[in-house]
Amino acid sequence: MYPPKDPAAGGVLDVYSRYMFAMNKAVYGKIDQLSAWWQGPQAAAKPAATASGGGSLTNVVANLVNEPVTAIAALAVGDFGNSWRSVERFGINSTIGVLGYYDTATSWGFRPAHTDAGLSLCRAGVGEGGYVVLPFVGPRTVRDAVADVVLTNAVLWVAAGSLFGTGATLQTIAIAETVEIVADVVATRQIDPQAKAIGFTDYATTRDRYLAQRRARCAALRGDPAPPRKMG
């Protein structure tokens, strides 16, 4: 007998997503190879890690993206405790943690509980709108993709306007736009760390894992009862 047809397969969105998945997998595969090559000689030259666990630029991105996004998204759904926790984490890591290079907040007991605009919309009853893979970013639902991209660009354009003003030259605008595009990809990809952590297996597995974690997190926000556990 033939295997059952994948209910999510077919359609323009699915064809596009499969193409983007293959492209992302190839791009990040090359990045991982370069990173492994670079860290090899670097690791041999570095002293042993300190008891604090060291820091990283990934922590900086997480601090500058996830904490403000969580503070706003949690506030939007009335989760004032989580919103304030993100404000506290941002304040601690941006000062004592050197812009977040060191995750001092976690070592002090302020553990992260990230949320985002897509989850806020889900809690409000906005549907997924289908599964899509964004170029250089990865898996999203249409709802989450729109929320992430709009929010990221709004934050970055406000920051760019503050830095360069309205009287910038064409060269400055071109440089700023290039930086904004790179920052847009990095920030949008960072908004859902759990999605980024899934990595790249096959297309269907990545899709199923992404949708499962988003639906579970949305259900937790709404306070839905946990599904019954299967016996056997």
> What does the pLDDT look like over 17-74, one tens digit per residue?
999 999 988 888 887 677 666 656 544 444 443 334 456 777 887 888 888 888 888 8
State residue 134 phi and psi, 5-degree precision.
-85, 140
**Residue 116 near residue 147, CB atoms below 8 Å:** yes
Confidence of residue 93 (pLDDT cuts 50, 70, 90): very high
State residue 141 phi and psi, 5-degree precision.
-90, 165
Mean predicted confidence (pLDDT) in 116-130: 89
Could you give the CA distance from residue 35 to residue 28 in angstroms, rounded to a whole number?
10
**Model pTM score:** 0.70
Q: Which of 93, 92, 102 is nearest to 55 (CA)?
A: 102
Confidence of residue 92 (pLDDT cuts 50, 70, 90): very high
Could you give the CA distance from residue 80 to residue 220 in angstroms, rounded to a whole number?
16
Residue-level length of the chain: 232
Report, in this order, helix, strand and coil percent for the chain, each rounded to 5: 65, 5, 30
Confidence of residue 173 (pLDDT cuts 50, 70, 90): very low
Q: Which of 137, 149, 141, 124 is nearest to 8 (CA)?
A: 141
Quote the pLDDT of residue 70. 84
More confident residue, 181 or 96: 96
CA atoms within 13 A on the CB side of 212: 8
Per DSSP, the three-state class of 133 is strand
Could you give the CA distance from residue 191 to residue 211 in angstroms, rounded to a whole number?
15
Quote the pLDDT of residue 227. 61
Q: Say yes or no to pLDDT of 157 above 80.
A: no
Residue with tokens 């050197």: 98
